[in-house]
Amino acid sequence: MNRFAWPLVAVCVLLAFLALGLRHGDPRALPSPFIGKPAPQFELPTLKNPEVNIGSKTLAGDYALVNVWATWCVMCRAEHPFLLELAANKAIPIYGINWRDSRREAIRWLDDLGDPYLASAYDEDGRVGIDWGVYGAPETFLVDPEGTVIYKHLGPLDPTIWQREFVPRMTGGGQ
């Protein structure tokens, strides 16, 4: 091949790669490094009852959702009705991590809108959020009975995502 054709070859490769890149999806979405790994250990006072603690031990034994939320988070409010629905149907135990919020505001929010959580941990300074690699609310983690993180969803939860991403990962237990 004539050596002047090399630039053409190189460019075609680059263009093909860029075309694939376009299909690749949101460049800002960060996959969780905990997928397939044990959920980060934590223990925090609950939101409503500061004397009682919940933590990693609480999650063990069954599939569970860990939902990171806050009152200042607009999208958390959007997903809230669906979480209530899941809780009402007893589809899965839901635990909350109330992230960087005001305890008083958070309790009032749950009182006003309903409380889908078996309990919410109160992460006042955000350290547990960091331990879970949280970078935006809402985030929802799916944890299996052994305490392994199976999936993480960034953004509000809705029926479509629930059916498509969460339900298949729960059946066929212990993936």
The site for another protein (CB under 8 A) is made up of 2, 4-5, 7-8, 11-12, 15, 17-24, 26-31, 33, 40, 72-75, 100, 125-127, 129-133, 135-138, 154-156
Least distance to another protein from the beta carbon of 39, Å?
12
Least distance to another protein from the beta carbon of 150, Å?
16
Q: Is the Cβ of residue 17 or residue 172 nearer to another protein in the bound state?
A: 17
Least distance to another protein from the beta carbon of 90, Å?
28
Q: Is the Cβ of residue 61 or residue 136 nearer to another protein in the bound state?
A: 136
Least distance to another protein from the beta carbon of 22, Å?
5
One-letter amino acid identity for 30?
L
Taking the C-alpha atoms of residue 83 and residue 60, their distance in angstroms, rounded to an integer, is 20
The secondary structure of 5-59 as a DSSP string is: GHHHHHHHHHHHHHHHHHHT--TT----TTTTSBPPP-EEEBSS-TTSEEEHHHH
Q: Is the Cβ of residue 19 or residue 172 nearer to another protein in the bound state?
A: 19
Helix/strand/coil (H/E/C) assignment for every residue in 146-170: CCEEEEEEECCCCHHHHHHHHHHHH
